[in-house]
Structure 1
């Protein structure tokens, strides 16, 4: 394998994930958050998967140390055949193999964590229809995704019910039910898995998390027909749950972004869903192209190194 080994390692693993960062920044202000969230999550998955394929190919070049293949190489050289192409250095291949083990551990841990959280939340309180009420003082609400044998629920705490009035409760329930309806758990899980594979995608996963919240905010605003009520409810819950400093987050918290998106005039909200989708599609296409080139180069290497008869 020639330069097409080293370039794929650098491109999908190091460079292409970074290309999604500006798209993630722009998408968080998008007026169509649902579409932007799905596009970013898909781009992250494709980019992470392409990088994973390239790492697998690099690690697979360790096969040139298999005794049978080494013997074939020596016989071929002694017979005056064409010199065999030299695979990449073993230290790089060993490093790729170590990265694959680390990635496997991270991906399994991420999957286990999400399932464990969902199961524990399902057991947090009695169910009434699609509503679970947990006897906790902290004001919280969360959409609990389906697990085997249990459908999705909205979990609210007794502290939240005491904090909010009837209209505010309706806004919160509309928000959480939007998460369940759009299966936002799948979107965020896809971005989380991509980040487990490649930590450079962490800013993209954070943008996806914010976008699904904004998407649910927009659904809630349409349900209650009052954007400022939803914005007020978000701020009220954040203040009660985390305190003024954490909720107002001068460093730029997601709560502030969500409130600003709701109170910003309609004409001031960006409509760049098409840009986010097309940008993510371009990065994904480039990732797949580089991975395909690496696979073709690896196939040529196998054809040269393996006995044909």
Structure 2
């Protein structure tokens, strides 16, 4: 097998380098979708490459091992044994990280849903800790907002409108699915961790822009984001989508400027490495099939 089987393992690196630049430009919605799609494709391609490398260990299993020891057959040599073993270990580690990430997200959402039954898509918890998060829906009930009396007391009525609009934007656009997909990609390929962070930031920026448009005042939205970020002592980033998540200073600065214009050209940057990953993964698959045919 040639270098094509190894390329998908490192093609996530240029995507990770591009992610912060993509997150800082243009509308956050298209950028979030592009980065998430590119991360998922890159993660699948790298996982497939590891699987192909690990499968070459089958030449050490009888009766294939006997064929390998027969010099008269002159069978093509797969990758070195230590490389195949390392690929198997990396594949196992990625699967374990993926399981941990999924368990953490599912467990967090289950605990948030157990806090109370929503009334008109809202649960108000009488807690002093200032928290405002969007709780994804389940089969039994739709998503809702969870806010505490602590954050309600720390914000003015107009700022509360921003917070509610921000969290409802998370639910309307199903941002939990985007962040979960980016998180899964980063779990199986740690090179994609910067992409996961960029998607989480863009989800918050997207909700900020929706909230600013709904209240019709970007300055008010910026003040609400800043005050919520300063006051909140809740879960913050990760599986929970709250107004305090992401880099608050960058978000406030973006809201003090005019609404971003569409810049679809800069989305080609993250999509090109993903497309190349698919191409080289297809080449590696053909090489593996040719190798398998020679052995079988």
TM-score by length of 1: 0.88
Alpha-carbon distance in 2 for matches of 1:240, 1:71:
68
1:12 to 4, 8, 11: 8
SS at match of 1:147: coil
Corresponding residue for 1:182?
A: 173
1:237 to 204, 228, 231: 228
Deviation at 1:166, TM superposition (A): 1.6
Deviation at 1:196, TM superposition (A): 0.1
Corresponding residue for 1:57?
A: 52
- Larger of the two Rg values belongs to structure: 1
Task: Confirm whether residue 264 of structure 1 aligns to residue 254 of structure 2.
Answer: no
Q: Is the 8 A contact 1:33 1:273 kept in 2?
A: no
Q: Is the 8 A contact 2:127 2:149 kept in 1?
A: yes
SS at match of 2:145: strand
SS at match of 2:133: strand
Deviation at 1:20, TM superposition (A): 1.1
User: Which structure 2 residues correspond to residues 127-206 of structure 1 after superposition, within 5 A?
Assistant: 127-206=118-197
Question: Residues 155-197 of structure 1, C-alpha deviation per residue, up to 9 Å, x if partnerless?
Answer: 1111011111221111111010000000000000010000000
Deviation at 1:74, TM superposition (A): 4.8
Deviation at 1:118, TM superposition (A): 0.4
Q: Is the 8 A contact 1:27 1:273 kept in 2?
A: no
Larger relative helix fraction: 1
Q: Is the 8 A contact 1:126 1:134 kept in 2?
A: no
Corresponding residue for 1:296?
A: 286
Alpha-carbon distance in 2 for matches of 1:53, 1:126:
43
Alpha-carbon distance in 2 for matches of 1:221, 1:37:
18
Task: Confirm whether residue 68 of structure 1 aligns to residue 63 of structure 2.
Answer: yes
1:255 to 224, 248, 251: 248
Alpha-carbon distance in 2 for matches of 1:71, 1:29:
57
Q: Is the 8 A contact 2:16 2:193 kept in 1?
A: no
RMSD over aligned CA atoms reads 1.6
Alpha-carbon distance in 1 for matches of 2:106, 2:17:
31
Corresponding residue for 1:32?
A: 27
Question: Residues 105-140 of structure 1, C-alpha deviation per residue, up to 9 Å, x if partnerless?
Answer: 110111111010001011123421211112221211
Alpha-carbon distance in 2 for matches of 1:164, 1:194:
36
Alpha-carbon distance in 2 for matches of 1:144, 1:174:
14
Structure 1 unmatched runs, 5+: 243-252
Alpha-carbon distance in 1 for matches of 2:212, 2:69:
72
Q: Is the 8 A contact 2:163 2:224 kept in 1?
A: yes
Deviation at 1:148, TM superposition (A): 3.0
SS at match of 2:140: coil
Question: Residues 70-99 of structure 1, C-alpha deviation per residue, up to 9 Å, x if partnerless?
Answer: 234456x44xx4x11001111111111111
Deviation at 1:271, TM superposition (A): 4.2
Deviation at 1:23, TM superposition (A): 2.5
Question: Residues 183-227 of structure 1, C-alpha deviation per residue, up to 9 Å, x if partnerless?
Answer: 000000010000000111111110100101000011001110001
Q: 1:129 to 1:265 in 2, by over 3 A?
A: closer
Corresponding residue for 1:214?
A: 205
Alpha-carbon distance in 2 for matches of 1:232, 1:219:
15
